[in-house]
């Protein structure tokens, strides 16, 4: 039996998720990629071995078994449709008798005459009414620690209802972050940077401004036998944090940590030795001085170019793509690709460079 699933992911990295789904779940088919919406709908066989594989996805935030998709519109009339559709969706039959449930909702896009709270309430009413029809008693709705969690969303005009099957906690929370870097990257974005750089097993991978080590840890979790994973930061405190995080992820022995300045990489790293780089240099927004970051780019990129192999690739996330791109070209890189990726409240840019 084949079923449809909804994967949510970091907006801007939907193609990375679609590719991962294809490689982790052979035989699956991508039905829709909602560009910049962080949504990928796919179809795949349904069964125990497939469900277990879903947990291994590293680019997704949640996975739902999709129960329905229907156009409901943006005016308030949509709410009655959401209730009726949820009632007839079969969702109630997924709740074991006596178990509690909750609906978590999202609203994506602009111009709706209702909120995500309305979506959750009307979908919950519909599922609750169907539960009463099935079991003859009122359902147990529990917002904290429910047994079953439904995901309801309106994406522009489309209503989707699914049941979360890989846990309610976002899958980007890997559990290894014992040291909380103040500007830590979501592990799902770190994974995306590695994929966009084209990083491969057996190669040398580096994050020259690694903070709490997210990129290096994701690389160590992804690849079985990399030549080397190098994690550089000028701050001894962040490097200590990165070591702690990598110990929590059980990969510390596979990463080389260096307290060093990324504008002088060649002092510690052999020239022409690094195949892939994925990194998140400071945005400088909090410093309020774009020129301090630009000066950093000007000094960092030539040094990075020197330690990378010819043809090696770097994917870098930045809030100042225009300047970064110019500085990268001046340093001798070719810019292969640029895209917008949602990073917290910001649409940042990811640039893929070739040395």
Ligand X SMILES: C[S@@+](CC[C@H](N)C(=O)[O-])C[C@H]1O[C@@H](n2cnc3c(N)ncnc32)[C@H](O)[C@@H]1O
The residues binding ligand X (CB under 6 A) are 181, 183-185, 209-212, 214-215, 232-235, 238, 261-263, 280-282, 296
Q: How many C-beta atoms surround the C-beta of residue 81 within 10 A? A: 16
Decide: 320 and 166 in contact? Cβ < 8 Å: no
Record the tokens describing residue 344, joined without a space: 């917290």
The radius of gyration of the chain's CA atoms, rounded to the nearest angstrom, is: 23
- By C-alpha distance, which of 278, 259, 254, 306 is closest to 206? 278
CB of 169 to ligand X, least distance (A): 19
Nearer to ligand X, 3 or 234 (CB): 234
Element (H, E) at 155: strand 148-155
The nearer residue to ligand X, 184 or 196, going by C-beta atoms, is 184
Measured at CB, which residue is nearest to ligand X? 211
Q: How far is the CB of 61 from ligand X (least distance, A)?
A: 16
**What's the min distance (Å) between Cβ of 40 and ligand X?**
24
Contact at 8 Å (CB) between 104 and 168? yes
Task: Tell me whether residue 70 or residue 296 sits nearer to ligand X (CB atom).
Answer: 296
Kindly tell me which of 164 and 348 has the beta carbon lying closer to ligand X: 348
Q: How far is CA 208 from CA 75, 224, 273, in A?
A: 49, 21, 13
Phi-psi category of residue 47: left, alpha or beta, with phi > 0 → left and psi -120 to 50 → alpha: left
Rounded to a whole number of angstroms, the minimum distance from the CB of residue 216 to ligand X is 9
Q: How far is the CB of 348 from ligand X (least distance, A)?
A: 11
Of 128 and 281, CB closest to ligand X:
281
């Amino acid at each position: 039996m084949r079923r449809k699933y909804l994967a949510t992911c970091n907006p801007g990295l939907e193609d990375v998720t679609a590719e991962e789904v294809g490689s982790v779940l052979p035989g699956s088919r991508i039905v829709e990629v909602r560009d910049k919406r962080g949504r990928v709908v796919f179809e795949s066989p349904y069964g125990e071995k497939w469900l277990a594989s879903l947990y291994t996805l590293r680019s997704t935030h949640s996975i739902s078994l999709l129960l329905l998709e229907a156009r409901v519109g943006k005016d308030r009339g949509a709410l009655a449709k959401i209730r009726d559709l949820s009632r007839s969706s079969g969702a109630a039959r997924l709740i074991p008798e006596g178990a509690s449930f909750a609906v978590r909702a999202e609203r994506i896009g602009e111009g709706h005459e209702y909120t995500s709270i309305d979506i959750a309430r009307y979908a919950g009413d519909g599922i609750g009414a169907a539960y009463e029809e099935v079991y003859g008693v009122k359902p147990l709705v529990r917002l904290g620690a429910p047994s079953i969690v439904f995901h309801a969303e309106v994406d522009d005009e489309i209503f989707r209802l699914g049941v979360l099957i890989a846990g309610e906690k976002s899958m980007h929370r890997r559990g290894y972050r014992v040291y909380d870097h103040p500007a830590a990257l979501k592990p799902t974005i770190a994974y995306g940077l590695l994929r966009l750089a084209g990083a491969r097993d057996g190669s040398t991978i580096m994050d020259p401004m690694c903070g709490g080590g997210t990129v290096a840890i994701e690389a160590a979790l992804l690849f079985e036998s990399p030549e080397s994973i190098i994690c550089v930061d000028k701050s001894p405190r962040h490097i200590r944090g990165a070591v702690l995080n990598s110990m929590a992820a059980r990969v510390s022995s596979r990463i080389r940590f260096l307290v060093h300045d990324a504008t002088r990489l060649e002092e510690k790293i052999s020239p022409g030795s690094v195949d892939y780089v994925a990194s998140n240099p400071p945005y400088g927004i909090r410093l309020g001085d774009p020129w301090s970051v630009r000066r950093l780019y000007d000094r960092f990129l030539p040094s990075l170019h020197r330690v990378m192999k010819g043809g090696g690739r770097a994917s870098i996330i930045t809030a100042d793509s225009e300047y970064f791109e110019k500085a990268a070209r001046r340093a001798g890189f070719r810019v292969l690709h640029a895209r917008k990726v949602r990073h917290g409240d910001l649409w940042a840019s990811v640039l893929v460079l070739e040395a």
